[in-house]
Chain A
């Protein structure tokens, strides 16, 4: 079955530090990959996505590259801000034409808490 493994947190950084949150996955076929962010007291928001190998998703200074050879989708940001403090979830879903009952279901990693200090 599908699974997603994220680096354990919490991660604590100073403002302007470089961020990496590792994510690896196990899936049948070629899933779509996502990073979602959950700010305190809010629901999940899509941060970025990639749908095929070597695609790079990017948004708000964050980026992640779909690496098929290492089954990874690590999240990076060159200079974090206090406002980036949140929980980050890596996720995958099967492609629409994969069919079957697993289509469209998101499988989430356990989440990584990021705290950025001024």
Chain B
């Protein structure tokens, strides 16, 4: 249980184009999804927190117009890198927090396998 998928697993695009990455929770509902960026041999940097049906909350220094996040349903969030440039090349990872019934929710995040973006 608690499987998160990402699509595509890798993508190569030309500079100036936009790329959409999907993050799906396959066997559970996730009211909150997180988007991270990971540079080679470095830790994960949280980019934004995405709540179903509301606007994403971006971390300081992350351009919201550059990285568009949509969380249209309890099982799907998308990250669109607009007008991508070589410096946007990175490993993008999403995670989903399990939704529970009642006043408390789980604090465990389950991660997708990541998407390798290469901008030429």
Report whether B49 and A104 are in contact in the complex, using a CB–CB cutoff of 8 Å.
Answer: yes
Contact with B along A36-65 (1 / 0, CB 8 A): 100000111110010100000000000000
Question: A96, B104: Cβ atoms under 8 Å?
Answer: yes
Does A106 sit at the interface, judged by CB under 8 A? yes
**Chain B: which residue is nearest A9 at the CB level?**
B41
Chain B residue nearest in CB terms to A10: B41
Determine if A111 and B107 form an interchain contact, defined as CB atoms under 8 angstroms apart: no
* CB pair A111 B43 closer than 8 Å: yes
Alpha-carbon distance A43/B36, docked complex (angstroms): 11
Q: Does B111 contact A (CB under 8 A)?
A: yes
Give the residue of B6, B34, B57, B113 whose beta carbon is less than 8 angstroms from that of A106.
Answer: B34
- Please state if B107 and A104 are interface contacts (CB–CB under 8 Å): yes
Is A32 at the interface (CB under 8 A from chain B)?
yes
Query: Which residue on A lies nearest to B91, using beta carbons?
Result: A43
The tally of residues in A whose CB lies under 8 Å from a CB in B reads 25
**Closest partner residue, chain A, to B105 (CB atom):** A96
- Per-position binary interface string of chain A over residues 101-112, scored 1 when its CB falls under 8 Å from any chain B CB and 0 otherwise: 100111011110
Q: Is the CB of A104 within 8 A of B97?
A: yes
Please report the C-alpha to C-alpha distance between residue A110 and residue B104 in the assembled complex, in whole angstroms: 29
1/0 per residue, CB under 8 A from B, across A67-101: the answer is 00000000000000000000001000111110001
Known: A104-B32, A105-B49, A106-B34. A89 touches B107 (CB 8 A): no
Q: Would you call B28 an interface residue if the criterion is a C-beta within 8 Å of the partner chain's C-beta atoms?
A: no
Determine the distance from Cα of A48 to Cα of B116 in the docked complex, in whole angstroms: 26
Is B107 a contact of A108 with CB atoms below 8 Å? no
- B residues whose Cβ falls under 8 Å from a Cβ of A: 6, 32, 34, 41-44, 46, 49, 57, 93, 95, 97, 104-105, 107-114
**Can you give 5 contacting A-B residue pairs, CB < 8 Å?**
A34-B108, A93-B107, A97-B104, A104-B49, A109-B43
